Structure 1
Amino acid sequence: IAGEPITQPGLVDNSCTPATPVANFTQKVKLKNNPSNIAPADAALAQVISGEVDTTGAILQLGAVTGGLAQPAPPSSTIVAPAIGMQVAKSGRTTGLTCDLIEATNMTVQVRYENTCGSKTTFVVTYDNQVEIASTTFSAAGDSGSLIVNALTAEPVALLFAGDNTSTIANPIQAVLAALPDPQHPTVFPTFVGGAKHPVSGCTGTLSGASGVNASTSMVRTVARLADVEIERAANAKRTHVAALMTDPAIIGVGVAAGDTPGEAAIIVFADQTKSHRAVPATLDGVKTKVRTVEPFHAFELHACPAQPSISLR
């Protein structure tokens, strides 16, 4: 509802008691009944209340490590497109500062939502061109809305919103900004409050000295960047076959990832581990495929209070 107060801390962190309003809700991306049946992003905007929010855009733990602790810092004011193998970081409500690699891009994915907070009934929203980070520790319920940045430059990359116990799903940041034009000036889009590029030191070489940083073992390995032409080859094959693949109710995501052969991209197919899926061809238009079984992807909602079932924190 327009004008609804956004409080800090949230209800779930304040014994279900409304705390200090820091902003007022203004607009959101429409998820249900989207004419295209594909949502571009799960995102919203709020107008901050003067004096209640750090206007530098500083995010906890995104800066230099001092005295063994990662310090707050704003992200870069410039954005960057996600890429397979990119080192990324995020600071979230539940898991704090975490670091990992982008596993897949160009992902078409189905995400479950509860109809109301705590409801046993759900609806599914399909997204296209999403980002996936394969990790059991990168995020959890309550981290939704965290800004994912390039760990080497702090440039915004994506917005975290969903996943399961082995994956994080995020909207590419370009799609988020494009989905939230000014209602009064449709050609004007949001930009980031931030500063110069800088490393997220808690994720880039000072992990042993930073307290409270959860760096996946994935950060130790590296994934060679794929040539643009190779990614486009796989993305074209994925676009051709994704609709047919996802007619199988057990297939809940299809994207592009690094293949098992160095320098080659592959089409990665995400299969619901609670269902049996049809055989996936070994290649599609000459591009190899690989299948990963996962739990159904769900929006990372964190329920607040049983006595207030209409309220949730995403």
Structure 2
Amino acid sequence: MPLATQAVRHQLLPRTRAHFSLRCGGLKLASAFLVAGTALLSGCGAGPVTASSSANAAFSISPGTALIDTNCNGCNSLNDHASPVHQFSATLNSGGSAPVTWSVSGGDPASGAGRISANGQYTPPNYLSADRAQIMITAALKSDPSIRATSLLTLTPGFLQPLTPENAAVGAGGAVTVTGFLAEAGGAGEIHFALSNSPSGDSGGEGTLSATSCQRTRHSFTTCSVTYTAPATVSTGVTYVVATLPGSSAKIETAVLLNTVGVSSNPATHQGSLSAPMLLGSSGGNNNDFDEKGNTILDCCSGTLGALVQDSSGRQYLLSNNHVLARSDHAAVGDTVVQPGLIDNNCTPNGDGAGTVPVAALTAWLPLHSPQTNVDAAIAGVASHTVDTTGSILELGVRQTDGSLGAAPPGISSTEGKGESATLQLRVAKSGRTTGLTCGRVTAFDLDVSVDYYRDCAETKPYLTKLFTNQISVSGDHFSDAGDSGALIVDSANAEPVGLFFAGGIDAAGVSHGIANPAPDVLNALSTQLPGDSSFSFVGTTDHEVSCLNYGDSTISSAQARALSNSEFARQQAALAAGRALVNPSTGILGVAAGKSSDEPGSAALIVYVDENLTPSVPSAIENVRTIVIPATAHSVSLGSAPTTATVAGLRPLAASALTPALQAKRLLARKLMQQNSAFFAVGIGQSLDNPREAALVIYVDRERIPAQLPSLLNGVRTRYVFMDRLHVTRSYAAAFPAPRHCIPHTIVGPTFDDLFAPRPLDLP
């Protein structure tokens, strides 16, 4: 999905990464003016907020004192589901809510005071041009506006976007430079960097950091950089470079994957301008993918130029998403596709300035508004000598002598270029604009998923909500992020195409979930878009292995780290007696203990230890408390040394007979679940984490609207819940750019953006 520079929201529990929403993998850049005649990329919100409140005889407003940051983990007040809140409330002195009108005044001389909604939710300005700004929040009683209460806020700058790069890989002695951006022009702000074993910590980790270097000018955002160097001897694992702001609890991090094979990988190689012939897996998009006001470009979007396909006549095309190349149905045939995307060229279109190269012309796309369309894909005919004709993708090849990964085409020899079908737990890789080469596993298939689309980069103009069926979900730490939309997902064992990444996000465990259209479905759907009998195939080479960069998967460890509520603990203890009554070594049940569910994080469970040489029948729940089934020996159970979590490691893939009941239940229940409760926005087939020998219905739940009751079984099939924001085509993530530069004015010729794309009747799915 296209990239963005609005408020960079970060998840709260337990990691400090980007907001855990499912989103299309694009990014957006925004521009704003600091001084007259000087355009600047706009940041996310300003940073920490302190408030002092004045009351009156009728009512008071709160918070009276607050510490808030608009875009970083740990800086915000939180609601019940760990969402950042900048909420003010007015309370009558006699009790109850006071009916008031909210207003703001004061603020930064360049960016203003921000805004406050009718219900008291305050949003700071996009950036500050000084170290701090004073904001007055005022509430006036509706029945008598002369009766007022105020809070004085002090704003200081916050992080503009995630660190650059968000992830990287190095071998022994390897180095990578990490850069952070502050939503501040001039001033004296500085980022503090530290090494850590965890993304939210400030100590531990392997390697060393150089001294911090910051650049500050009145006409660009403050940037601070540090160089990380790995030790001379490493073991494979992740070390974190954690950035904090003095006086704030804000934390963001870069994950550095240390590896003993000496692989060096930095996603920055995917974001810059590439020499001809261009390699795939790189930044790119439609040259018109920007929002504008008057003659000024406000923001822009880009994604990933994912792969090369060819029709039956041998004509070659770039393949990416509709929302990357065709602007979610709002482009025109013949539109120029550029590399890098506008997000990596300071929102400067080709023709308005240097920095991008036209590489293709938009040819066709699968219309999102059509109920018959089930993929988010578009193709663009490549210009002569602009794109590598072998279809080579960045970092999909073997390790080079300098530690970097060479480019290579995808494998096509097993399927004759038609792509292979995904299977559960298949290890896959993708090469994308934002996170580069990363690997994960297929954790759900036959996924029904609802996606929100918008007409503009800023997501202020809703377009449609579309239901996709039979999709693939891939998960893993740092597998994908905004801007990776359009990347080709391949089988890591043979590089055969598996899917086209079009949406993703970070769940409450800090784990990335990438949603992909199955590769064979993409090719079949494209064949309907050109006149004549056109069939498409991937351009590639003989099957080959991909050097996987896998940052791990913290799904289970995060679930086990969560403390149980008092009510969950009480449920667990009440069920223990019934569980222990099942213990009978002669039938294969060796013991029962208290545990925590990984299928439903935060839920109590009972661990049932079973003889590893037998397959006893274990209920999915005991007195409505989930069970965790773990093979063990009688000796380990008696010593208390048996594991406390189940694992899929070493298990054979689930047989068709084990999947069939789940498939039947999903096809019967998925649509009903999503229609009856919009909190459920995706349902597919996966593997239970509490009992990996069983399939599960994988249900994605809106973390803002978690139902009070979540069944552990549906139609006799275990359920696994993933808590995150609804899936939508979000561009609210900042891009990684090499330096703050100025967006130039763009002269409008002919109809405006609004004229061309005004709302019109649509056939909604």
TM-score range, shorter chain: 0.7 to 0.9
Structure 2 residue corresponding to 1:218, chosen from 553, 557, 561? 553
Task: Note if 1:4 corresponds to 2:432.
Answer: no
Task: Note if 1:119 corresponds to 2:455.
Answer: no
User: Which residue does 2:666 correspond to in 1?
Assistant: 238
Superposed displacement of residue 228, structure 1 = 2.3
SS at the partner of 2:506?
coil
Superposed displacement of residue 230, structure 1 = 2.3
Task: Note if 1:26 corresponds to 2:372.
Answer: no
Task: Note if 1:16 corresponds to 2:352.
Answer: no
Superposed displacement of residue 300, structure 1 = 5.6
User: Which residue does 2:678 correspond to in 1?
Assistant: 249
Structure 1 residue corresponding to 2:426, chosen from 86, 108, 120? 86
Task: Note if 1:64 corresponds to 2:411.
Answer: no
Superposed displacement of residue 227, structure 1 = 1.2
SS at the partner of 1:62?
coil
User: Which residue does 2:408 correspond to in 1?
Assistant: 73
SS at the partner of 2:672?
helix
- CA contact 2:477–2:553 (8 Å) conserved in 1: no
Deviations along 1:218-265, one digit per CA (max 9) or x if unpaired, are 399746421123223311210001111112010111000012323321
Deviations along 1:32-60, one digit per CA (max 9) or x if unpaired, are 2x235xx4110001101111000000000
Q: 1:253 to 1:306 in 2, by over 3 A?
A: farther
Query: What amino acid does structure 2 have at the position aligned with 1:252?
Result: F
Deviations along 1:173-214, one digit per CA (max 9) or x if unpaired, are 1111111115212x432101001110002x1xxxxxxxxx4x
Q: 1:171 to 1:278 in 2, by over 3 A?
A: farther
What TM-score results when the alignment is normalised by the length of structure 1? 0.87
- CA contact 1:87–1:99 (8 Å) conserved in 2: yes
User: Which residue does 2:530 correspond to in 1?
Assistant: 183
- CA contact 2:490–2:496 (8 Å) conserved in 1: yes
SS at the partner of 1:269?
strand
Q: Determine the C-alpha separation between the residues in 1 that align with 2:489 and 2:730.
A: 15
Superposed displacement of residue 269, structure 1 = 0.9
Aligned residues: 295
Structure 2 residue corresponding to 1:264, chosen from 686, 691, 694? 694
Query: What amino acid does structure 1 have at the position aligned with 2:338?
Result: T
Superposed displacement of residue 284, structure 1 = 2.7
The answer to which of 100-109 and 222-231 deviates more is 222-231
User: Which residue does 1:299 correspond to in 2?
Assistant: 729
Q: 1:90 to 1:238 in 2, by over 3 A?
A: same
Structure 2 residue corresponding to 1:137, chosen from 465, 471, 478? 478
- Structure with more relative contact order (C-alpha pairs < 8 Å, separation 6 or more): 1
Name segments (4+ residues, structure 1) moved above 6 Å: 302-309
SS at the partner of 2:393?
coil
Q: 1:129 to 1:307 in 2, by over 3 A?
A: farther
The answer to which of 219-228 and 111-120 deviates more is 219-228
Query: What amino acid does structure 2 have at the position aligned with 1:226?
Result: L
**CA-atom RMSD, angstroms?**
2.4
SS at the partner of 2:430?
strand
Superposed displacement of residue 297, structure 1 = 1.5
Superposed displacement of residue 108, structure 1 = 0.4
Query: What amino acid does structure 2 have at the position aligned with 1:249?
Result: S
User: Which residue does 2:37 correspond to in 1?
Assistant: none
Q: Determine the C-alpha separation between the residues in 1 that align with 2:391 and 2:371.
A: 34
- CA contact 2:459–2:730 (8 Å) conserved in 1: no
- CA contact 1:76–1:194 (8 Å) conserved in 2: yes
The answer to which of 90-99 and 231-240 deviates more is 231-240
Structure 1 residue corresponding to 2:378, chosen from 38, 44, 47? 44
Q: 1:29 to 1:293 in 2, by over 3 A?
A: same
Superposed displacement of residue 150, structure 1 = 0.5
Q: Determine the C-alpha separation between the residues in 1 that align with 2:465 and 2:692.
A: 35
Query: What amino acid does structure 2 have at the position aligned with 1:14?
Result: N
User: Which residue does 2:499 correspond to in 1?
Assistant: 158
Query: What amino acid does structure 2 have at the position aligned with 1:183?
Result: L
Gaps of 5+ in 1: 204-212
Query: What amino acid does structure 1 have at the position aligned with 2:682?
Result: G
SS at the partner of 1:110?
strand
Superposed displacement of residue 24, structure 1 = 0.5
Q: 1:291 to 1:245 in 2, by over 3 A?
A: same
User: Which residue does 1:53 correspond to in 2?
Assistant: 387
User: Which residue does 1:210 correspond to in 2?
Assistant: none
Q: Determine the C-alpha separation between the residues in 1 that align with 2:467 and 2:744.
A: 29
Superposed displacement of residue 12, structure 1 = 1.4
SS at the partner of 1:297?
strand
Query: What amino acid does structure 2 have at the position aligned with 1:71?
Result: G
The answer to which of 53-62 and 219-228 deviates more is 219-228
Q: Determine the C-alpha separation between the residues in 1 that align with 2:712 and 2:521.
A: 31
Q: Determine the C-alpha separation between the residues in 1 that align with 2:425 and 2:744.
A: 41
Q: Determine the C-alpha separation between the residues in 2 that align with 1:306 and 1:269.
A: 45
- CA contact 1:251–1:277 (8 Å) conserved in 2: no
- CA contact 1:111–1:299 (8 Å) conserved in 2: yes
SS at the partner of 1:179?
helix
